[in-house]
Chain A
Amino acid sequence: MKKIHKITFISIFAAFAMVLSYVEMMLPPIWSAVPGIKVGLPNVIIIFVLYKLSFKYAAFISLLRVFAVALLFGNVLTLSYSIAGAVISLTLMWLLKKTSLFSMVGVSIAGGVSHNLGQIIVAMIVMQTKEIGYYMAILAVSGVLAGIVIGLIGAMLLKYTQKIKIK
Chain B
Amino acid sequence: MSIKKALLNHKNDILLATGILLLAAICFLIFSFSMKEGKYALVTVDGEQVYKHSLNEDDETVILGANSSSGEQNVLVIKDGKAFVKSANCPDKICVSHRKISKTGETIVCLPHKVVVSVVEE
Contacts from A to B (Cβ < 8 Å): 32-33, 35, 51, 77, 97, 100-106, 109-110, 113, 123, 126-129, 131-132, 134, 136-138, 140-141, 143-144, 147-148, 155, 158-159, 162
Contacts and interface: CB of A to CB of B under 8 A. Distances in A.
A104 B28 contact: no
A105 B105 CA distance: 35
**What's the interface size class on B, roughly?**
35 or more
Given A102-B9, A137-B27, A144-B20, A127 B111 contact: yes
Given A33-B98, A159-B7, A106 B105 contact: no
A165 to B, nearest CB: 12
Nearest to A155: B7
Interface of B: 1, 3, 5-10, 12-13, 16-17, 20-21, 23-25, 27-28, 31, 44, 46-47, 92-94, 97-99, 105-107, 109, 111, 114, 116, 118
B85 to A, nearest CB: 12
Given A109-B13, A140-B23, A155-B6, A100 B1 contact: yes
Contacts, number: 105
A102 to B, nearest CB: 5
Contacts of A126: 111, 114
Contact of A103 (B10, B23, B107, B114): B10
Given A32-B94, A127-B114, A129-B107, A109 B16 contact: yes
Nearest to B35: A134
Given A103-B6, A128-B44, A147-B17, 8 more contacts: A103-B5, A103-B8, A129-B107, A134-B107, A137-B31, A141-B24, A144-B21, A158-B7
Contact of A128 (B16, B23, B27, B47): B47
A123 B98 contact: no
Given A103-B8, A106-B9, A158-B6, A131 B105 contact: yes
